[in-house]
Structure formats: C-alpha cells, structure tokens
Amino acid sequence: MAVGIVTFTSDYGWEDEFVGVCHGVMLSISPEVRIVDLHHSIARHDVRHGAVVLEQSVPYMPDAVHLAVVDPSVGSERRAIAVETAEGAVLVGPDNGLLLPAADACGGIAAAYSLEEARFLLSPVSRTFQGRDVFAPASAHLASGVPAAELGPPAEVSSLVRLEIPKAWEHDDHLHAEVLQVDRFGNLQLNFDGARLKKIGLSESSSLEVRLEGHRLQIHHGATFADVPAGDFVLVEDSYKHLSLAINKGDAGAKLRAASGSTVIVGPINT
C-alpha cells in the first residue's frame, strides 16, 4: 500500500548537497512523495545518536517510510535493509543497529529484507554514497507502494545488528546514568525517567546532587525551565519523559563540557 511519505534522518548536515540529492532521487522515482526532513544534524558517524532520535520521533510520525542514514561503514560488507514493524511502519537504512530501537518502539520487527534487487536501486552503486544509490531509491519505491519483499531476500531478524541504548542503573539511593544527547539549546537528555527517580525515593525531592565531568552540583528538580532564575541549572522532565539537565536561558552542555556518553550520577543532597 502506498503511504506517500518518507521521513529522512541523517548525519549529512546542510553544508553539502547530500540531502538535496537524496530528495532529488526520491522525487525522480515518485514525484508525489512527500519528504519530512526529521533531522540532518545527527553527530557525525554517531549511530547511537541517530537511533535515539529515531526511537523518540517515529511514534509521532504519520504512516510513512522512515529513511535513516548514519553509516560510518558505508561501502563495507554491512547490509542495507528494510525493516517492517508490527504497527506497519517501514524503516530503511544500514544494518548497524540504527533502525532497531525505533522498530521496537513501533511494536517490534515483523520482517526484514536485504536491499539487493537492482531494479529498485540506482546503477552503479557508489561505495561512498549509498544514501543516494540504495536507501533513497528503495524508500521512494516503498512509499509508492512497492512491497518490501520485492526489494530483496528476507533477512533473519535474529541476524540484524542490535544497538543497545544504555539505561541508568540504581545503586542504593543514587542513579548511575549517561547523557543520551545534547540538543541545540545545550540541554542534556539523560537516560532515565521520573519512574526511576521514584524507585530510589527521589521523585519528590526539590533539589538533587548531580555529578558529571568533574562537577558536583546541587540542582533544583523542577517542572519547567522557568522554575529557576535565568542562568541557573534545573533538572526537568522533557517532552519524551526523560530527565534533562538544563540551564534556564543558557547552555548546560557548553558550561559543563558534557556530550553524549558523559557519565552522570544523580542522588540526594548530602547534608
């Protein structure tokens, strides 16, 4: 069934022609397709960052083909795949773990296929720009109604590369966590939600101790950025139910020199 929409996520950025060329390929194949540019500033080669963005975003998208290209092993023996989910979404991209967290968020994997059928790809296939030659054309054909099973042979679900997004873990009255991603405002999204705070008895605490990148901070646990004066730290629940460390009208990532993967310990204020 034709869905007519492709969402597009990549680490291509906007400085080069890569995103525009992929648009052109898809529109050449299916002029009626609508393309939603979800995110093209995924940190370069950071498959986990792309997986986090897809996992959080895809549930809010309409019925679509979800094209994602964060592919540091482009041109290698890694497979190009299309993944069908139990809820009917189709994800297209490299078999490097990028797609599977989003597939799990859409009900789990129903089937997967290796993108090998030449008539649905450009020829010749570049070893360095398979977003253009493999993933974009396959996505356009899928969006126009070509069944995924026609794009190539089935891929065993158990053989797909799985990327585990780390979860925070408890130790006594502390959480050992990580920064999942840093948005353009410098907010640090952490890998736990309010339920994990509740589990260690800290959900009602108005202030928490946060340790990361050599800093030991006492931070207000609030509901909004505006719960603290401009320039102050605050820990809030973000729009995806994760806890985020922020500075009201400031940049927590820059001030703390923190990035995706920075380790964090959250616990009670020691008196």
**Secondary structure letter of residue 154 according to DSSP:** B
The answer to whether 210 and 245 have CB atoms below 8 angstroms apart is yes
**For range 103-131, the mean pLDDT:** 96
Question: Residue 2's pLDDT is what?
Answer: 74
**For range 198-221, the mean pLDDT:** 92
pLDDT in tens, 160-172: 999 988 999 999 8
**For range 60-74, the mean pLDDT:** 95
The answer to whether 154 and 137 have CB atoms below 8 angstroms apart is no
The answer to whether 231 and 248 have CB atoms below 8 angstroms apart is yes
Question: Residue 193's pLDDT is what?
Answer: 93
CA 199 to chain CA centroid, Å, is: 26
Token pair 């069944």: residue: 147
Q: What angle do CA 161, 143, 56 make, to 5 degrees?
A: 50
pLDDT band of residue 269 (cuts 50, 70, 90) is confident
**For range 66-82, the mean pLDDT:** 94
Instruction: Name all contacts of 213-217 with Cβ < 8 Å and 24+ positions apart.
Output: 213/256, 213/257, 213/258, 213/262, 215/256
Q: In what order do the strands lie in the sheet with 34-39?
A: 34-39, 5-10, 65-69, 90-94, 80-85, 109-114
Kindly give, in sequence order, each residue whose CB lies less than 8 Å from that of residue 16, ignoring residues fewer than 6 positions away.
Answer: none
pLDDT band of residue 1 (cuts 50, 70, 90) is low
> Domains in the chain, please, with CATH?
5-159 (3.40.50.10790), 169-267 (2.40.30.90)
The whole-model pTM stands at 0.93
